[in-house]
Amino acid sequence: MSISILICVHSKTINNDLLLIQALNSLKTQTYKKFEVVVVFDECWDQTIKMVNNEKYDFSLFKLIKEKKDGLANAKNYGLKHMTCDRVCFLDADDLYMPDKLQKQVEFIEKNDVDFLSTLAWNKYSNQSYLFESCFRVGEYETHSDLINVLDKENVLTHGAMMIKKTCLDELNGYRNIKGMEDWDLWKRAIQKGYKFHQLQDRLYVYTIGTSVAR
């Protein structure tokens, strides 16, 4: 299974650059190795690309530059146009993957018919390494039925934890520019199309609190 991981970054400070490097470094430790990474530099200052270029990676890394930001949804769609892999994953530029994140998702997909596969998440603060559980409990939202019954009222899925069939994203025409809700809007439209959801009950994604940049 071929996987593209999309990272969209809008950075104007050294602190945000360092968070991006940490995010990329978390991909070096993945136990599943068949993936490429596409980074969309969405109106970043010059130092961001320089810092990324100074690092060495054991995976294919493609850099796309957008000179003017016009919303996170548009940045994601810009990146998706350059992807041809079977599945698309996402990593916010201030978050992290656990080492077996991709491996466990691939193993599940190989045995189950699912279009949108998420995982539970850990939370952390940017200045701390301590991980603590998100507000969603293990066993609370797992099956397709669990998820479709709640997603019309609440977004219980972490976007960065998602692995999606590329063909589904193509058929949905990607994201709509709904600030702060582009992922939730995508889930709702996918449910209407009849795509199948599931959420692994392992915390395989690390969400960093308080570092998001307004898009």
Using one digit for the tens of pLDDT, what is the confidence trace for 127-137? 788 899 888 89
Residues of the chain with pLDDT under 50: none
- Measured from the Cβ of residue 186, the count of other Cβ atoms closer than 10 Å reads 24
Report whether 117 contacts 198 (CB < 8 A).
yes
Give the pLDDT confidence score for residue 130 in this predicted structure. Answer: 86
Give the pLDDT confidence score for residue 84 in this predicted structure. Answer: 86
Closest CA to 7 of 38, 32, 48: 38
Give the pLDDT confidence score for residue 2 in this predicted structure. Answer: 93
Q: What are the residue boundaries of the structural domains of the chain, listed by start?
A: 3-209
Question: Which bin fits 86, alpha (ψ -120 to 50), beta or left (φ > 0)?
Answer: alpha
Evaluated on CA atoms 133, 138, 142, 148, the torsion sign reads: negative
Q: What is the mean pLDDT of the chain?
A: 94
Pair of tokens at residue 120: 């539970």
Q: How far, in whole angstroms, is CA 108 from its chain's centroid?
A: 18
Q: What is the CATH number of domain 3-209?
A: 3.90.550.10
